[in-house]
């Protein structure tokens, strides 16, 4: 295990740990915690009232400490796998639990319980209070029901959808993939949905509750050629009802995926060495998510280890580079109404025209850095402490014409899609594995190449971006930083000068 590595996963984990919500407004709470989520969908629903939560928070701060919090979560999930023409498995999950957190200076105490009862919550509060023994105490404010605006809308709630409908959507993708080309020998369709309900109560008097729906649809296709094979991948995801598939058609995802599998059968060996790279709009934004986004997270700034320490207000990137983290984009995979600490979602411009203007924070790092809370405190589940995470992160739209960017690049590499990669946030050194890549020869996309890795350092890359298109687009993914988080990454078509490409042949 290397502690410092953050990564974006290529292959979906067997067990997805994601979120989701029923839309509308973040709902006002009723005295009984966790309202009925989905008719008939929940098992025994925990009963805790506001005064009980006040008592837990007071108990959490009884030894000392300046911030106490209770987080209660309930999640219903469905995973269905259609592979090799068979609905191989269907998995239903019921998960619930609560975590109690105490902050005291730079210290965090945390304990969680699967059983949501007053007795277990008090016990968790005791364990969490361990770190604050002897510290000065802040008197908690009694909690009061609050609400936040919502960025998630639902037309057809997931809980009203018959399983047959889910299967039909999967089958449409499966059939479209196999029909695309005779060389597509297998299609794998993974359907996931969930509804996550949250209750957040803290010693600042906050009490919030909502339900988040989430859909994640992954198509993989195997193309088999005369002497090689290639597994393609395409993903769809939104915080939304099942109507997502009216707009993002499963057949289109399947064909996009199948096309990649077939094209890459003709791929030649990639060249090795430094070259100019043009990256197509969309999920390629994951490169800046890793290379720039992680180092901009407030936790490593507060620790003074990150590559951007001491660089606030300074010019760090080319004039054309503006980077944003925006948790309010409607229904996006990285969107929520508020983060897992209850902080309002925001649009945060992190780098403006090349100048570093803001770091992303959670409650702890905001306090340590004396900066505003940006709504980036997120957690995988009640089993995890919230940490600073990105939401929907992207290079903002520029003014260049994407066709001109390609045409004005004499030679190099055209990266149509990336798998994922990782960064060391201390040094800013990153690596990326490409999915679909072409050579650029005389301003034109030519031969597809395989096995290309992009590596470099954060600052070199953002200083080397000399063209930014006007065609901003996004893709969904999973970000790993000890915990999994659902994110979106985006960018317009961009050109990066002189990036190191790892290929298997010398130029």
Partner 1 sequence: MDYKGLAEQLVKKCLKKGADAAEVYIENGRNLSLEVRKGEVETVEEAASYGAGFRVFLKGKMAFASSNDLGERALEEAIGRAIEFAKITTPDPNNVLPDDMGMTEIAGLYDPQIAQIPMEQKIDLAKKIEQLAMKDSRITKSDGARYGEAEGEVVIASSNGLVKSYRSSACSLGVSVVAEKGDQKSSGGEFCGARSYKDLKPAEEVAAKAARDAYEMLDPRPVKTPKAAVIFHTDVGYALLGGILGAVNGERVLQGASFLGKMMGRKIGSELVTLVDDGTLEKGVASEPFDGEGVSTQKRLIVEKGLLKGFMYNTIVAKRAGVRSTGNASRGGFTSLPGIGPHQFYLAAGQVRPDDIIKATKIGLLVKEVTGYGINPVNGNFSGGASGFWVEDGRIAFPVKGLTIAGTADEMLNGIEMVADDLDLSKRMAAPTFRIKLLQIGGE
Contact set for partner 1, span 220-249 (CB under 8 A): 222, 224, 228-231
> Binding of partner 1 at residue 160 (CB under 8 A)?
no
Per residue, the 3-state secondary structure of 267-316, as one string, reads: CEECEEEEEEEEECCCHHHHHHHHHHHHHHEHHHHHCCCCCCCCCCCCEC
> Binding of partner 1 at residue 91 (CB under 8 A)?
yes
Alpha helices in 81-162 (DSSP H): 118-128
Residue 21 near residue 89, CB atoms below 8 Å:
no
CA–CA distance, 359 with 425 (Å, rounded to integer): 14
Site for partner 1 in 307-326 (CB under 8 A): 307
Site for partner 1 in 423-462 (CB under 8 A): 424, 426-427, 429, 431-433, 450-453, 455-457
Least distance from C-beta 148 to partner 1, angstroms? 28
Phi, psi of 484 (to 5 degrees): -90, 145
Least distance from C-beta 453 to partner 1, angstroms? 4
Helical (H) or strand (E) element with 75: strand 67-83
Neighbours of 146 (CB within 10 A): 17
Exposed e or buried b for every residue in 341-357, given b needs 16+ CB within 10 A? bbbebbebbbbeebbbe
Residue 56 Cα distances to 118, 130, 285, 413, 425, angstroms: 8, 15, 42, 57, 36
Q: Which is nearer to partner 1, 249 or 303 (CB)?
A: 303
> Binding of partner 1 at residue 119 (CB under 8 A)?
no
> Binding of partner 1 at residue 470 (CB under 8 A)?
no
Which of 119, 134, 164, 370 is the binder for partner 1 (CB under 8 A)? Answer: 164
Least distance from C-beta 502 to partner 1, angstroms? 2
Q: Which is nearer to partner 1, 317 or 329 (CB)?
A: 317
Site for partner 1 in 321-380 (CB under 8 A): none
Per residue, the 3-state secondary structure of 426-445, as one string, reads: CCCEEEEEEEEEEEEECCEE
> Binding of partner 1 at residue 394 (CB under 8 A)?
no
Which of 68, 109, 293, 342 is the binder for partner 1 (CB under 8 A)? Answer: 109
Half-sphere exposure of 368 (CA within 13 A, CB side): 22
> Binding of partner 1 at residue 20 (CB under 8 A)?
no
Site for partner 1 in 28-87 (CB under 8 A): 43-44, 78, 80, 83-87
Q: Which is nearer to partner 1, 99 or 402 (CB)?
A: 99
Site for partner 1 in 198-217 (CB under 8 A): none
Which of 38, 145, 248, 272 is the binder for partner 1 (CB under 8 A)? Answer: 272
Name which of 304, 284, 289, 271 is nearest 413 in CA terms. Answer: 271
């Amino acid at each position: 295990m290397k502690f410092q590595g953050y990564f974006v996963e290529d292959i979906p984990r067997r067990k997805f740990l994601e979120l989701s919500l029923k839309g509308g407004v973040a709902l006002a709470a009723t005295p009984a915690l966790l309202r009925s989520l989905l008719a008939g969908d929940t098992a025994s629903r925990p009963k805790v009232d506001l005064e009980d939560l006040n008592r837990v928070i007071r108990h959490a701060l009884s030894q000392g400490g300046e911030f106490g919090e209770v987080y209660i979560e309930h999640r219903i999930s469905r995973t269905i796998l259609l592979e090799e023409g068979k609905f191989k498995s269907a998995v239903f999950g019921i998960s619930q639990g609560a975590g109690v957190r105490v902050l005291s200076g730079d210290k965090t105490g945390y304990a969680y319980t699967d059983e949501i009862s007053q007795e277990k919550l008090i016990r968790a509060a005791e364990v969490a209070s361990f770190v604050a023994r002897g510290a000065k105490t802040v008197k908690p404010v009694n909690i009061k029901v609050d609400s936040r605006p919502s960025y998630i809308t639902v037309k057809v709630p997931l809980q009203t959808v018959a399983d047959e409908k889910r299967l039909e959507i999967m089958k449409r993708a499966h059939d479209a993939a196999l029909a695309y080309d005779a060389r597509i020998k297998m299609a794998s369709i993974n359907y996931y949905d969930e509804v996550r309900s949250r209750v957040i109560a803290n010693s600042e008097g906050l009490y919030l509750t909502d339900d988040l729906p989430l859909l994640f649809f992954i198509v993989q296709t195997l193309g088999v050629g005369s002497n090689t094979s290639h597994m393609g991948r395409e993903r769809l995801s939104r915080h939304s009802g099942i109507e997502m598939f009216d707009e993002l058609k499963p057949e289109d995802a399947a064909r996009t995926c199948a096309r990649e599998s077939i094209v890459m059968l003709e791929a030649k060996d990639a060249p090795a060495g430094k070259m100019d790279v043009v990256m197509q709009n969309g999920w390629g934004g994951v490169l800046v998510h890793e290379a720039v986004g992680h180092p901009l997270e407030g936790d490593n700034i507060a620790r003074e280890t990150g590559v951007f320490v001491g660089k606030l207000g300074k010019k760090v990137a080319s004039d054309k580079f503006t980077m944003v983290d925006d948790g309010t984009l409607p229904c996006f995979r990285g969107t929520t109404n508020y983060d897992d600490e209850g902080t309002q979602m925001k649009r945060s411009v992190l780098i403006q025209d090349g100048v570093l203007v803001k770091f992303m924070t959670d409650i702890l790092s905001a306090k340590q850095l004396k900066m505003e809370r940006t709504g980036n405190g997120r957690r995988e589940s009640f089993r995890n402490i919230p940490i600073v995470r990105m939401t929907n992160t992207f290079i903002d739209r520029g003014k260049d014409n994407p066709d001109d960017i390609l045409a004005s690049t004499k030679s190099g590499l055209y990266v149509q899609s990336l798998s994922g990669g990782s960064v060391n946030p201390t040094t800013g050194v990153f690596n990326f594995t490409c999915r679909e890549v072409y050579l650029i020869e005389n301003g034109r996309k030519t031969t597809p190449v395989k096995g290309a890795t992009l590596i470099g350092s954060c600052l070199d890359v953002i200083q080397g971006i000399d063209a930014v298109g006007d065609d901003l687009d996004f893709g969904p993914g999973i970000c790993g930083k000890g915990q999994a988080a659902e994110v979106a990454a985006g960018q317009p078509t961009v050109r990066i000068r002189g990036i190191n490409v790892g290929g298997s042949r010398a130029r």
